[in-house]
Amino acid sequence: MPQKPRHSRVAKVVIDKNARTLSAFDADGNLVAFYPASIGSAEKPAPSGEFKVKSVAHNPTYRYDPRFGFKGVKAQHKFTIRPGPKSPVGVVWIDLSAPSYGIHGTPSPEKIGKTESHGCIRLTNWDALDLAGMVHRGTVVDFVG
């Protein structure tokens, strides 16, 4: 269930690839949010190391490029899916400084933490919206595990 927007400002996000979780901390190191997540896959693992939030886009348009070669996608040409909660990236895209990686929502919240993603960090739409309201350009995102 969606929550009221928080007024916390996140200074650091830690993505634990082994535990399949995302933790968000304020500038004093206090945990302000914790979410289950789907993180990467064998075909496109999530990166390791430290990156930064570049931007946040609400209701993003999804653009697929066949060069990505996602498992299960047979498209031979680029295509676009209009914004909405059933978009492959859900209702928000948090763009990271790691090229083509982001934190986003999903049309299938029941699969979070149980399935793989195409490299990105997938949260429920409501968790992605919650996080998007607390991060900003320059927020540190650290991939561990």
Active-site amino acid positions: 104, 120
CA 15 to chain centre: 10
Strand partners, 94: 56, 103
CA separation, residue 76 to residues 4, 19, 89, 96, 119 (Å): 42, 35, 20, 26, 20
> CB–CB of 12/24 below 8 Å?
yes
Q: Could you give the strand order of the β-sheet that contains 140-144, starting from the edge strand earlier in sequence?
A: 31-36, 21-25, 12-16, 140-144, 49-58, 92-96, 102-104, 121-122, 38-39
